[in-house]
Structure 1
């Protein structure tokens, strides 16, 4: 059990950080040409005007690049960025879910990349306090055109990237608000068993049990289970009960206008997971599925009926996941459903970050001017279109609306879809011509047409400004704890997370009531009250100026 807890905990120690999918947009027409169509009418720097300088750039390694395409650091798109961009780039692969460990090793050895892409601000805050990051104000003023103009037009970019010393340390992108978490369900299984779409947590349990016990795939084998409890599925379930806080173990949430740690809400969520586990409706080995890979494979193989997950964009889901499921089970029908109501109310899911910090410059970068030129190039609308759609005539055609339409989903999946992490500076919101996510779907492709229907259903179910957001803000906009309090928080998480898991697995011998008492005791013993007081003071003093859930909702309403 100890090994089981430790393995899972290592994947959950950091703040729960959401990942947006690829941005939408048009592309240039072939890989040896570069469009000068840049945001704000600004033309990109001609990469042939002066000798290119060498830089190193990190890129997440998800193990998703097909062997025929090369590797994470060497494939057709890294080559295109080198051929078409203003700098000679050596890409450095960073394991997606082990980025903290990898970056720590690289910085400690003096070999960290010049430009670091990272979604988790907590990881990068550590390097900021160690003075490992370069302030960007002068660099942008002297060497930027594209991003400099974006800062002037969208002050929120500077707001989210400025640290306590008043200097800008990070680069961000803009996006429309989209649901990133979701609750997916096999509609064909519901129909086969004569069940309605569940609208309450109790009804969801009933459906999960039926999916496990009543042979919904009709193969006369006991080989299905109702719902996933792995990895991000836990975040979704916590959201049902307003327990999706700053960390999976610490439910820091807003209730009745006040910032509190709601141990009771967390207990409700753990109670629910315990019920699922004890009725046999989830994989008994879910804790060892630390990154959710097994749950995903079970879903794609047609063995999982309810999939709470970080869905990303529904275009990517259709191309990368729904297409696989349909090959394995052509009759499969998947729909996103609204989060079920609980005793705490009805909540929206987590959203994408509309103003998202994604990039930082190493303080020891040898050619910071070349890094800035690459940032400009990677921020251009034309770059996003190219990476987002691939080559005209090969991966897409220009549709009647003047925007690219993917023509061969399998070819797109194998040759384009894996490059999303090269698009972390692309602001999809700026592509006014083709930035609407719906325009990316090819309605003549049955899989993409189904994905478009899912996208629309998700918007209807999840972008509901009348429902509260499950958290204070997007996790990437939480404030940075002082170093001493950060150490307290880390120690508290290490002590508390195994308590909740022990309760899920412990049956009647270890109840959730006892777990809650033990969690509170561990929190107090670790000095957690200091952390709690700090967050409460921050909320009282900053709730009118910080980027909070209300700001995200404002962006939904003004879209």
Structure 2
């Protein structure tokens, strides 16, 4: 997740098996394509469907548009599909070319609202209300089961333009601490940001690993860490938070976060070279080498972190103990870190589609548990077996990697919760194995700490549900965001001559001169007039409560 440059948060976490809870399966298996859907076509029709090309298909498997799973989808699905690859690194450019040449596919799989929303305004996407009502079974039921889906898929005119999926909402970021170091130095878990600083300082200066050397960092700092640190202080980064009941860039909150980071930097509590750690790889290695006491980070896979990464850490520090802790209270209040979007718009239909009924029936086919399970876990007996709880378990990890793991984008619109408890993150752990039991306990503790509706969220809503700016305002934002980031960074790195107070004044001036007030007015107007029809944090907590009831 990029920290800067976008209001909308582009989520690409569907590649891993971290997905979620349960609904009903309302249709037969893919062995009987078309059955169970109203007005099913007598024969298969030809349609085109986009798929992300991540460049990760093994050579032996073919290409993303022609492989074992494209063949399986054509053999078992209700349509003859031609797949159109979309480069994952720069999908916007490809979509611009396809729509400009009138060759865009019928099914548009795309996560980024900054791509889809302008297409709605340009009348390039098809309104779906009547199509879903007349020709859908699975997706129509999903809309009934999760009413919030309509909010996240509806355009400015009140019509549905997107297809959404349902995921398990869980913490995407976390703040970890070495509790063995706390014990060694007789320290308590920090409850405030000031206490966090004091603990980090002690970790850097008081030899917490007992090796007689000053070779530890109190805290990790990189772009992966900054999301968490900014979140503690309520800073919304390049987006908007709520201040006094209305959207704000909250630069005063960012100022406090920058002051905290500058303090860590000036006193040698963090790596002095952190600004060059562009992807967080260096600081992660330092953590795994047992040299960092407080580790704020993005958690791509809870299983990987709590089991694999902790095992790697203990090779360097056999007695290491790691726990997630609540984000300490700052002057702005108490916050939770970023959370996985539970209702995510993933798909749309080209307005020029010749056979919309066939297209929505193909999407219904993808929204069957049997289809989604196959694309995520492969074939039963070949790639996975079903355990006593009815959940698929991989037979051979290497075979899965070679033949299945790269195929999840074909199931982009699949509502993962249809596979019930089998799709929950907790199902990845085997409690009979001590290291996995400990990993599961760590994950459950993080959920309890961070899935807390009594605390604040640093942005008005999840990134993907923030409104898309008009093109001219988005251009202003992209340009000024880099300038503002440079000002803040210069303050952190610049010593006494570059004070945070001066940086704050420079940021306000830069924002005003760039036309930032126009963006402020747009956001305030959106919140005033559209908040009731938008997916806000109350909707997230309501959805999370629904998920907690699923078995």
TM-score normalised per structure 2:
0.82
Query: 2:92 & 2:48 partners in 1: Cα distance?
Result: 21
> Paired residues, what number?
535
Q: Which of 505, 510, 535 does residue 493 from structure 2 map onto?
A: 505
Per the alignment, residue 171 of structure 1 pairs with 163
Query: 1:261 & 1:461 partners in 2: Cα distance?
Result: 26
Matched, 1:59 2:77: no
Superposed CA deviations along residues 63-108 of structure 1, whole A, max 9, x for unmatched, are: 7777887877677666655554444453625335x54455556656
Per the alignment, residue 27 of structure 2 pairs with 42
Per the alignment, residue 241 of structure 1 pairs with 233
Per the alignment, residue 149 of structure 1 pairs with 141
Q: Which of 438, 453, 462 does residue 465 from structure 1 map onto?
A: 453
Q: Secondary structure at the match of 1:431?
A: helix
Are residues 93 and 446 of structure 1, via their aligned partners in 2, closer, same or farther at CA, if it must alter by over 3 Å? farther
Query: 1:55 & 1:397 partners in 2: Cα distance?
Result: 32
Deviation at 1:111, TM superposition (A): 6.3
Matched, 1:311 2:299: yes
Superposed CA deviations along residues 483-512 of structure 1, whole A, max 9, x for unmatched, are: 443333334324322222222222222111
Matched, 1:488 2:480: no
Query: 2:398 & 2:512 partners in 1: Cα distance?
Result: 53
Per the alignment, residue 355 of structure 1 pairs with 343
Query: 1:139 & 1:157 partners in 2: Cα distance?
Result: 16
Q: Which moved more, 1:135-144 or 1:478-487?
A: 135-144
- In structure 2, runs of 5+ residues without a counterpart are 35-41
Per the alignment, residue 90 of structure 1 pairs with 83
Native 8 Å contact 2:148 2:343 kept in 1: yes
5 Å-filtered alignment, 1:406-485, equals 420-432=408-420, 434-485=422-473
Per the alignment, residue 339 of structure 1 pairs with 327
Q: Which moved more, 1:439-448 or 1:362-371?
A: 362-371
CA RMSD of aligned residues (A): 3.9
Native 8 Å contact 1:182 1:311 kept in 2: yes
Query: 2:84 & 2:490 partners in 1: Cα distance?
Result: 41
Native 8 Å contact 2:177 2:294 kept in 1: yes
Deviation at 1:180, TM superposition (A): 1.9
Deviation at 1:517, TM superposition (A): 0.8
Per the alignment, residue 39 of structure 2 pairs with none
Q: Which moved more, 1:87-96 or 1:344-353?
A: 87-96
Deviation at 1:443, TM superposition (A): 1.5
Query: 1:215 & 1:387 partners in 2: Cα distance?
Result: 50
Q: Which moved more, 1:525-534 or 1:389-398?
A: 389-398
TM-score normalised per structure 1:
0.81
Q: Secondary structure at the match of 1:53?
A: strand
Matched, 1:402 2:390: yes
Deviation at 1:115, TM superposition (A): 3.8
Deviation at 1:545, TM superposition (A): 3.4
Per the alignment, residue 180 of structure 1 pairs with 172
Q: Secondary structure at the match of 1:198?
A: coil
Native 8 Å contact 1:23 1:423 kept in 2: no
Query: 2:435 & 2:75 partners in 1: Cα distance?
Result: 33
**Structure whose alpha-carbon radius of gyration is higher:** 2
Superposed CA deviations along residues 231-287 of structure 1, whole A, max 9, x for unmatched, are: 33222111101112xxx235x221343333322111011112222232333344433
Deviation at 1:383, TM superposition (A): 2.9
Q: Which moved more, 1:410-419 or 1:344-353?
A: 410-419
Deviation at 1:462, TM superposition (A): 0.8
Q: Which moved more, 1:515-524 or 1:301-310?
A: 301-310
Query: 1:115 & 1:376 partners in 2: Cα distance?
Result: 12
Are residues 166 and 555 of structure 1, via their aligned partners in 2, closer, same or farther at CA, if it must alter by over 3 Å? closer
Q: Which of 108, 115, 131 does residue 123 from structure 1 map onto?
A: 115
Query: 1:164 & 1:119 partners in 2: Cα distance?
Result: 18
Are residues 150 and 555 of structure 1, via their aligned partners in 2, closer, same or farther at CA, if it must alter by over 3 Å? closer
Native 8 Å contact 2:23 2:417 kept in 1: no
Per the alignment, residue 227 of structure 1 pairs with 219
Deviation at 1:151, TM superposition (A): 3.1
